[in-house]
Amino acid sequence: SVLVYRTGEGTLQQTLIRCWRPGTAAKPRCQVQTLSEEPVGADAFTALEEMLAKTASEEETMSEMTDHEMRIRLAEAMGWTDLDWYFRPGWITGLPPGDRPRDHVPNPLESDRDAARLRAWCVGQGWELEVQHRLRTDLWEARVIVHDVASRQIAASTIDCTWNNPLRRERLALCRAVLRALDAVEAGGEA
């Protein structure tokens, strides 16, 4: 996979090019996906630097957020109220949406069931999730992309690491992508 930045006709375009070989004797296949396109002024290199700095800043902010903070933010977005945590680590309770009794807040970082609940919530918001897994020479990569109903990308998160648990990588990428989508919507984007 290659991430390409190119300029032309007053725009700066971020494009992902993926190539793979489906079998040993098969011809390589390639897919080109435009991730974003932004208008730029006369100085396209300044716009490129700003886009790269923004992406790096978002990654840094997400990596600084603790699992606890991420879990609380996602629960609040999903409609949980009256959140409370006790002396026991990971023990968060609250009132779920609707007329249900107090319960444990979902933990989509650790539970496949809770991650499925988060995916279902995203679908209820009108979002489409695209999950990709890649094996590189020395590590696995999990990427989750959030699209709105018009198939425009709202947010994405990629986790590159040498962890042995690919499901944990996918769940972390899911949580970060959803948080980015929430930030984009709060900043005035569409969902």
Is the pLDDT at 79 greater than 90, yes or no? yes
Average pLDDT over residues 76-88: 85
The pLDDT value given to residue 161: 65
Instruction: Identify the bridge partners of residue 131 per DSSP, sorted by sequence position.
Output: 144
Burial of 109 (0-12, 13-18, 19+ CB in 10 A): buried
The pLDDT value given to residue 187: 77
| This prediction's pTM | 0.63
Model confidence at 11, pLDDT cuts 50, 70, 90, reads low
Q: Which residue has better confidence, 101 or 9?
A: 101
Give the whole-angstrom CA distance, residue 166 versus residue 172: 10
Rounded to the nearest 5°, which phi and psi values hold at 39? -70, 145
Is the pLDDT at 62 greater than 70, yes or no? no
pLDDT in tens, 143-162: 787 887 776 777 777 776 65
Model confidence at 45, pLDDT cuts 50, 70, 90, reads low
Q: Which residue has better confidence, 59 or 93?
A: 93
Q: What does the buried/exposed string (b/e) look like for 152-175 if buried means 16 or more CB atoms within 10 Å of the residue's CB?
A: ebbbbbbbeeeeeeeebbbbbbbb
Average pLDDT over residues 175-180: 89
Is the pLDDT at 23 greater than 50, yes or no? yes
Arithmetic mean of pLDDT over the chain: 75
- Residue boundaries of the structural domains of the chain: 1-64, 66-75+106-191
Q: Which residue has better confidence, 31 or 43?
A: 31
Average pLDDT over residues 4-10: 60
66-75+106-191 has which CATH code?
Answer: 3.30.160
